[in-house]
């Protein structure tokens, strides 16, 4: 077992175990690809393997606030996500606009990176996803989008969820994430 460390916050004691050997599974090379909304095949090179993914854009937060409720069942309600995130933004916990650059607006874990990329950008009825192509405002040429990913060294969903949450803890909360 690794080194045991204590962390006290609000009277709660949380035990953390630090073992660098186990953390190797959470590292890898991030690969990013631009998204072309007129060509769903732009994501065909993304592997159908488990991993973590990051959706990046230069689209300002205000553009997301003005979107309509999704028309497709189970697609995320992006304006509601922004309402949820406003408190985190006010406290400095959420990822803010990066003038002139892209920032992560959503991250997650999946058993198939390619399938999840296509769901978030091109939608799939009945799937809990962003369905970005359903919003004409978000497909404008001035809105740049990238799908970035890191292949996981495991198929274990628990480890992937842990990696997803660790990333958010270190880097900030993406504005389109609700949980």
Q: From residue 125, how far is each of 48, 60, 96, 111, 113 by CA, in Å? A: 20, 26, 30, 19, 18
Q: What is the pLDDT of residue 178?
A: 83
In the prediction, which pLDDT does 57 show? 95
Helix (H, G, I), strand (E, B) or coil at 176: coil
Domain borders along the chain are 28-171
Instruction: Using alpha carbons, select from 48, 32, 38, 30 the residue that is nearest to residue 121.
Output: 38
Residue 23, pLDDT above cutoff 70? no
Which whole number is the average pLDDT over 118-134? 86
Predicted TM-score of the model (pTM)? 0.84
**Percent of the chain clearing pLDDT 90 (strictly above):** 39
List of residues 6+ apart from 75 with CB closer than 8 A? 123, 127, 128, 129, 130, 131, 134
Query: For residue 22, what pLDDT is reported?
Result: 55
Average pLDDT over every residue of 11-23: 44
Closest to 15 (Cα-Cα) out of 28, 6, 24, 23: 6
């Amino acid at each position: 077992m690794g080194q045991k460390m204590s962390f006290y916050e609000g009277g709660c004691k949380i035990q953390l175990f630090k073992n660098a050997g186990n953390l190797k599974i959470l590292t890898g090379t991030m690969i990013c690809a631009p998204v072309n909304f007129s060509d769903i095949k732009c994501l065909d090179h993304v592997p159908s393997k488990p991993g973590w993914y990051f959706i990046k854009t230069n689209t300002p937060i205000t553009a997301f606030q003005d979107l309509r409720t999704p028309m497709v069942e189970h697609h995320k309600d992006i304006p509601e996500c922004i309402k949820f995130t406003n408190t985190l933004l006010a406290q400095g916990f959420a990822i803010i606009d990066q003038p002139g650059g892209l920032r992560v607006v959503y991250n997650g874990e999946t058993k198939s990176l390619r399938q999840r990329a296509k769901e978030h950008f091109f939608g799939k009825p009945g799937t809990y996803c962003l369905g970005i192509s359903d919003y004409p405002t978000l497909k404008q040429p001035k809105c740049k989008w990238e799908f970035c990913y890191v292949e996981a060294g495991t198929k274990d969903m628990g480890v992937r969820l842990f990696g997803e949450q660790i990333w958010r803890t270190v880097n900030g909360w993406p504005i389109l994430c609700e949980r």
